């Protein structure tokens, strides 16, 4: 009682009629780019686990100013 080839073709035709081929191409490329960036982020996270970086905080020296007293 699974979905057969005929049912998949009917669903594909309905999707093409509703969205159009150009929109489907854009959706496919966007989805591919999202998967690629997700895989890169996962790989980067695994690399961070293997090679932990020192978590010492860096101090940034500078002057803190306020715009309260400035006239507009």
| Residue-range definition of the domain harbouring residue 46 | 21-50
Is 57 contained in some domain? no
19/39 Cα distance (integer angstroms): 28
Does residue 6 fall inside a structural domain? no
pLDDT in tens, 13-34: 998 898 888 888 898 899 999 9
Among 15, 22, 17, residue whose Cα is nearest residue 7: 15
Q: Express the helix, strand and coil content of the chain in percent, nearest 5 each.
A: 60, 0, 40
Query: Using N-to-C axis directions, what is the helix angle for 21-50 and 5-19, rounded to 10°?
Result: 100
The pTM (predicted TM-score) of the whole model is: 0.46
Residue that wins the pLDDT comparison between 72 and 4: 4
Q: How confident is the model at residue 48 (pLDDT cuts 50, 70, 90)?
A: confident
Domain tally, the chain: 1
The two structure tokens encoding residue 42? 């996962």
Residue 56 inside a domain? The answer is no
Q: What is the DSSP letter of 57?
A: P
């Amino acid at each position: 009682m699974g979905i057969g080839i005929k049912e998949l073709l009917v669903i594909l035709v309905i999707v093409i009629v509703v969205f159009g081929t150009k929109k489907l191409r854009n959706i496919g490329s966007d989805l591919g780019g999202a998967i690629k960036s997700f895989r890169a982020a996962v790989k980067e996270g695994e690399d961070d686990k293997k090679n932990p970086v020192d978590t010492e905080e860096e101090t940034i020296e500078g002057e803190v100013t306020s715009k309260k007293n400035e006239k507009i």
